[in-house]
Amino acid sequence: MNSIFRFASPAIMLCLSCCGEERSVKVAVRGEDGLPIEGVQTTVTFLGYSGGDTQRKIGLTDSDGEFEALGQASLRMHVLLEKKGYYASKSGRLDRNESHDLEFVLREVRDPIPLYAMRAYIGFPKNREWLGYDFESGDWVAPNGKGRVVDVWLRCDTQKTAERDGKGTIEMRFPDGGGLHIVKRGYLKRSLMKLPHVAPVDGYIGTFSRREESYHNEHRDEDLGYFFRSRVKMEGGRLVSANYGKIVEDFQFSPVETGWHDSHKNSPKFFGVVSFAYYFNPTPNERNLEFDPRRNLFKDLGVKEVVRAP
């Protein structure tokens, strides 16, 4: 009997999966004001080994903002929420071996505007030195790049531990009055728009650092994002002008030196790389950071640098 299951063909396995237990996926959808949202198109996918084995249950949330679907999944389940006037939200992978009771918050589409937006891959040409970075130029400031204004100082302190690995620290330091505002509560990881529409006025910290023991980013937090403030002008201890931006996810930091592969021979030497998707509003004191992807102020970005989320 055991050998029959051990060497069962895909067709037999597919048949067996069809006899699996039915699961329930319940969703409750609210707005940022906490009120239920009716009429949200909800697509619950019960993924099978083939298209014929996959079930999709589609319906609208009721007056309580709720919807329930029943089905069987051979692999996993997934939820997609869509409604005109709101940003879409997804569940991520759901375990097929249990039922799920999920709550979602949808963000409204309000006032998308042009911003400087890009996924930056910033290689450190020097180790253990503070280097200035310009968000509007998307580059190091001179003499390391074409940037003109220091929005943030960056520093890496890395050490090579293997041909393709290393360990070290990434540090950030903002000029006086600038800083990062960490967002955990109110961060919507599964939403197309993860951070709130508007940057806060207060709550910015001037320094940040993180240590990694390898390129695996084990200390990266997937449940937070950041607002930032730069180009601050003060008069008599009072904030009179500043520029605002957002970083929609925690930083990716690779403390690995380039040069270990033949393809690096004609490339600049880097002692580590930090990458993150950021959005910068060039208008002083304008805190709206709801981005219109059709109106990026950066032109001619590389394929990997383009951001398409608001």
* Domains of the chain as residue ranges with CATH: 2-106 (2.60.40.10), 113-296 (no CATH)
Tell me the two tokens of residue 135: 């968000």
Element (H, E) at 27: strand 23-31
pLDDT for residue 86: 98
pLDDT in tens, 107-128: 999 999 999 999 999 999 999 9
Cα angle for residues 37, 90, 66 (degrees, 5° grid):
30
Least confident residue range of 16-30, 92-106, 133-147, 174-188: 16-30
In whole angstroms, what is the distance from residue 148 CA to residue 179 CA? 19
In whole angstroms, what is the distance from residue 305 CA to residue 139 CA? 13
| Positions of E strands within 136-224 | 139-140, 152-162, 165-173, 179-183, 207-212
Look at the block and give the residue holding tokens 């394929």: 303
In whole angstroms, what is the distance from residue 156 CA to residue 169 CA? 6
Nearest to 124 by CA among 184, 179, 183, 170: 170
3-class secondary structure, 273? strand
Element (H, E) at 116: strand 113-123
pLDDT for residue 260: 59
pLDDT in tens, 148-200: 999 999 999 999 999 889 999 999 999 999 999 999 999 999 999 999 999 99
Residue pair 106/81 in contact by the 8 Å Cβ criterion: yes
Predicted TM-score (pTM) above 0.85: yes
Amino acid sitting at position 106? L
- DSSP assignment of 206-260: SEEEEEESSTT-TT--TT-EEEEEEEEEEETTEEEEEEEEEE-SPPEEE---S-S
* Main-chain phi, psi angles of 47, to 5 degrees: -80, 130
Residue pair 302/205 in contact by the 8 Å Cβ criterion: no
pLDDT for residue 97: 94
Contacts of 50 by beta carbon, 8 Å cutoff, 6+ apart: 14
Query: What is the end-to-end Cα distance of the chain in Å, rounded?
Result: 55
Q: What percent of the chain has pLDDT over 70?
A: 91
pLDDT for residue 265: 63
Average pLDDT over all residues of the chain: 92
Contacts of 182 by beta carbon, 8 Å cutoff, 6+ apart: 205, 224, 226
Tell me the two tokens of residue 299: 């032109």
pLDDT in tens, 25-52: 999 999 999 999 999 999 999 999 887 8
